[in-house]
Amino acid sequence: MSSTRSSSAAALTALDRGRTDAPLRIGMVAPPWFSLPPAGYGGTEAVVAGLVDKLVERGHEVVLVGAGVNGTLAQEFHAVYDVPPTERLGEPLPEAVTAAYARQVLAEAGVDVVHDHTLAGPLLATGRTAPTVVTMHGPVTGECGRYHELLGGTVSMVAISDAQRRLNPRIAWCDTVHNGIDVASFPFEPDKDDYVLWIGRFSPDKAPDLAIQAARRTGRPILLAGKLNERAEREYFDAVVAPLLGDGAEYVGEADAVIKRELFASAACLAFPIQWEEPFGMVMAEAMACGTPVVAMRRGSVPEVVADGVTGYVVDTMDDFAAGVERAGEIDPHECRRHALERFDLSVMAAGYERVYRSLVDVGAPDGDGTPTLQALAA
């Protein structure tokens, strides 16, 4: 475990912190599985890294707890693991160690607000005076949903889409802030190739097999990119996806940040035939940033992210999905880019979280017994 600190980061006085426009000192806790930002896969870590950079650019101080080497602008970085335990993804102990380490670091850091993106960390919110914000990056139903319901008013929950909030109104939501991307880092390409792109995690929920079938119906080739690190992913790929490869369908491996941008920029469209209530699909925003339309099933956050008929097509059946792939060339790439910049740029996300932080700092932290003191803020 290691930490780095910026010698130029000066502590804010209590008088300064009382100003509504004063910079905040923010404790940010990231999951331990990937570096910040991640080299390849790592959606939550990418969001955290981008948020940290924008908050610093907006004048705030960030005390970041994460793993690996710090690639962000955070003035202080505390590494729980010098090498992220990626191969142990899903095991409980790395999460528990991260929570314990973050508790120790933040107790000494004098932060105004804590923003926790981990699973175990929110359990320690009652032990601090600063309010704790928790972003729901995962499912809000089932056992995961029940866990976050039981946290009650000890934390302030932020949804990444209104669709996510509707799935579980029993969670103590305080706001919705869409995930953001650095739109400027994505190349805009108005002239497209003919191939369809599918990119994501290999699972039935993401339905790469349906994407292949839709592309074949239109006569377009399709490229598939995604990680195959976990056993369930490999088993699904071998049983369902591999038999469909060939005849215009090609698996190109896991795309890093550079390759991903190249694939997005040239694709005729992004195929997003999800089969679950996805709370937010980063790849949709990334595709639109490159001027690439999105064809997606009407599930989860899709109608919030894609402007139907403007930046892609939001459909209800696979027949309509194939038709959307066929008509992808009718979508104006400039509208896709504009939409991504106005709705999903990192600056928009950072402003949203700044609004959340300031509202909570003004009100104060929940009572130590978990009594919600922020009920007026919850929708």
Asked whether the predicted pLDDT for residue 11 surpasses 70, the reply is: no
**Chain centre distance of CA 69:** 20
Asked whether the predicted pLDDT for residue 72 surpasses 80, the reply is: yes
- Give start and end residues of each alpha helix (H) in the chain: 14-17, 43-57, 92-109, 142-151, 162-167, 208-218, 231-236, 257-266, 282-289, 302-305, 318-326, 333-344, 346-363
Six token digits for residue 253: 């491996």
Q: What mean pLDDT do residues 99-114 have? A: 96
Residue 362: CB atoms within 10 A of its CB come to 11
Rg (Cα) of the chain, in Å, rounded?
21
Which superfamily does 2-180+347-371 belong to? Glycogen Phosphorylase B; (3.40.50.2000)
Sign for the pseudo-dihedral over CA of 368, 12, 99, 344: positive
pLDDT tens digits along 155-172: 999 999 999 999 999 999
**pTM of the predicted structure, to 2 decimals:** 0.86
On average, the pLDDT of the chain sits at 90
Six token digits for residue 97: 């160690």
- Note the pLDDT of residue 373: 41
Q: Are 23 and 60 in contact, with CB atoms under 8 Å apart?
A: yes
DSSP assignment string, 33-74:
SS-BS-SSS-HHHHHHHHHHHHHHHTT-EEEEEEESSB-S--
Local structure of residue 23 (DSSP, 8 states): P
pLDDT tens digits along 218-260: 999 999 999 887 899 999 999 999 999 999 999 999 988 899 9
Task: Give the rounded percent of residues in the chain with a pLDDT score beyond 90.
Answer: 83
pLDDT tens digits along 15-56: 344 456 789 999 999 999 999 998 766 789 999 999 999 999
- Note the pLDDT of residue 16: 47
- Confidence band of 8 (pLDDT split at 50, 70, 90): very low
Six token digits for residue 366: 């929940």
DSSP assignment string, 253-302:
----HHHHHHHHHH-SEEEE---S--S--HHHHHHHHTT--EEEES-TTH
Q: Which residues pair with 272 in a beta bridge?
A: 296
Sign for the pseudo-dihedral over CA of 225, 227, 228, 230: negative
- Note the pLDDT of residue 10: 37
Cα diameter, the chain: 67
What's the CA gap between 8 and 189, in Å, rounded?
A: 40
- Confidence band of 7 (pLDDT split at 50, 70, 90): very low
Asked whether the predicted pLDDT for residue 336 surpasses 70, the reply is: yes
Residue 54: CB atoms within 10 A of its CB come to 22
Can you give the residue ranges of every domain in the chain? 2-180+347-371, 183-343
**Chain centre distance of CA 372:** 26
CATH class for the region spanning 183-343: alpha beta
Q: Is 80 exposed, middle or buried (0-12, 13-18, 19+ CB in 10 A)?
A: buried
- Note the pLDDT of residue 335: 98
Task: Give the rounded percent of residues in the chain with a pLDDT score beyond 70.
Answer: 90
What's the CA gap between 181 and 282, in Å, rounded?
A: 8
